[in-house]
Amino acid sequence: MQFFLDTADIDEIRQGLDWGVVDGVTTNPSLIAKQGKPYLPTVKEIAELCPGPVSGEVLATDVEGMLEQGRRLAGLADNVVVKIPLLPAGLQAVRTLTEEGIKTNVTLCFSANQALVAAKAGATYISPFVGRLDDVGQDGMELIEDIVEIYRNYLFETEVLVASVRHPMHVHQSAIIGADVVTLPLKALSQLYRHQLTDIGLANFLADWETTGKTFDD
Ligand code: G3P
């Protein structure tokens, strides 16, 4: 299973890469807007920092506009994946970009049928948003189960990239189901490391050794 960081914050990406468990990065217009920096240069900076796949999203919603912006994004660096919204025009652009050898990440997926048409269009990744489905009272993880099963049934090569991840249970369930990738904020990634018994156990080990009055070399 791959871990992508869902952020456009350079410091967070540096931190995640230092931990050694981050395989790629996903961004979107909202995340880049939060940084208050220019759009394309931010995607380029991230792609230079992170050796793995870096998703940068088009802002256009018509086919020609998405193709033009998608090609420019892909031209920034070899590891840039073009993120495209799940619209008929978007999937038409995905088909063309795929034929040109450009990798795509189809975003804003909220149903199994949307995932099915994205795979048929040749998407490299599909991004179902689990947290936003949970927010409106639907079960985000049930959608991941369905997509993974459908893709297995028909041997689609499109990778399931679980997005809108909010907490460690989303990661745990994605791993059990067999999703290919989860993209998560740094805070959610840091929560994967934590358990209260680890903290208590470590404090006890160190306190017990402290009672000897000896050092590491004694
Ligand atoms: O990048 C897409 C997705 O991960 C957004 O997450 O938390 O804004 O629903 P969120």
pTM value?
A: 0.96
Q: How many helices (H) and strands (E) does the chain have?
A: 11, 8
- pLDDT greater than 90 at residue 218: no
Overall number of domains in the chain: 1
Q: Is the CB of 4 under 6 A from ligand 1?
A: no
Q: Domain with 25 in it: what CATH number?
A: 3.20.20.70
Mean pLDDT, the chain, integer: 98
- 191 belongs to a structural domain: yes
Is 28 within 8 Å of 39 (Cβ atoms)?
A: no
Q: Is 206 a member of any domain? A: yes
How far is residue 140's CA from residue 192's CA, in Å, rounded to a whole number?
A: 19
- Residue 205 CA, ligand 1 centroid: distance in Å: 40
Residue 197 inside a domain? The answer is yes
Q: Is 26 in the pocket of ligand 1 (CB under 6 A)?
A: yes
Per the structure, the complete domain to which residue 48 belongs is given by 2-212
Residues forming the active site: 83
- Residue 105 Cβ inside 6 Å of ligand 1? The answer reads no
Is the pLDDT at 84 greater than 90? The verdict is: yes
Task: Return the beta strands (E) in 100-218 as ranges.
Answer: 104-109, 125-128, 159-162, 181-184
